A and B are shown apart, each in its own frame.
Chain A
Amino acid sequence: GIQVEQSPPDLILQEGANSTLRCNFSDSVNNLQWFHQNPWGQLINLFYIPSGTKQNGRLSATTVATERYSLLYISSSQTTDSGVYFCAVNRDDKIIFGKGTRLHILP
């Protein structure tokens, strides 16, 4: 089946820093989404981005479908950005999650 790999697995940054999270996938997909899971477990959809670039405030994402990767950019990190960031791809009516990047923003 399709493989979804995220990097880095863990990231510790000082508040105010910028970060780039990567998601590689092994085959063509119908769509790709980025989620943030907060420390209480709640998953929030950040972007639906099968291709192209989107921005929402301090967050932006780019997916290059032909090269099978997506990037999530977080600028001017805040402590509330801490949590796990997952990318998930949809193929054949199935959603496959990567293992996530655990981000910890230090005050």
Chain B
Amino acid sequence: GAVVSQHPSRVICKSGTSVKIECRSLDFQATTMFWYRQFPKKSLMLMATSNEGSKATYEQGVEKDKFLINHASLTLSTLTVTSAHPEDSSFYICSQGRLAGVQETQYFGPGTRLLVL
């Protein structure tokens, strides 16, 4: 099956610092990857669609200057939370979709837990 990794798995940082989260596709070249955030006991909320070689597409209400997405290669997308604040504390998950015939199935990374003090 597909393997998507994320690093780091958890991070604690001080308010005002920036945090970079990496999402790697280990066995597949993904032109598109998705970034989600999930608050405790809540559903996943799509933040943005990361497109290789072009700018990310952000969902309404997501600050693109706050959450910088870079999809530099077909196997790596990064999400940088700039000047993090306690309200940015959340579980961040990336995913990629793969087509197998007519089916597109989402494969998720293990997630990154961010705690901003």
- Write the residues of chain A forming the contact surface with B, with a CB cutoff of 8 angstroms: 31, 33, 35, 40-45, 48, 86, 88, 90, 93-100, 102
Contacts and interface: CB of A to CB of B under 8 A. Distances in A.
Contact of B34 (A45, A86, A95): A95
Nearest to A40: B110
B106 interface: yes
A86 B111 contact: no
30 contacts: A31-B104, A33-B105, A35-B106, A35-B108, A40-B110, A41-B93, A41-B111, A41-B113, A42-B108, A42-B110, A42-B111, A43-B95, A43-B108, A43-B111, A44-B108, A45-B105, A45-B108, A48-B104, A48-B105, A86-B43, A90-B104, A93-B49, A94-B46, A95-B34, A96-B46, A97-B43, A97-B44, A97-B45, A99-B43, A102-B41
Contacts of B42: 99
B111 A48 contact: no
Interface residues of B, number: 21
Contacts of A42: 108, 110-111
Describe B's contact surface by its main secondary structure.
strand
B106 A33 contact: yes
B111 to A, nearest CB: 5
A43 B93 contact: yes
B103 A41 contact: no
A41 B109 CA distance: 10
A33 B106 CA distance: 9
B91 interface: yes
Describe A's contact surface by its main secondary structure.
strand
A45 B43 contact: no
A25 to B, nearest CB: 14
B111 A95 contact: no
A97 to B, nearest CB: 5
Interface in B87-113: 91, 93, 95, 103-108, 110-111, 113
Contacts of A33: 105-106
B67 to A, nearest CB: 17
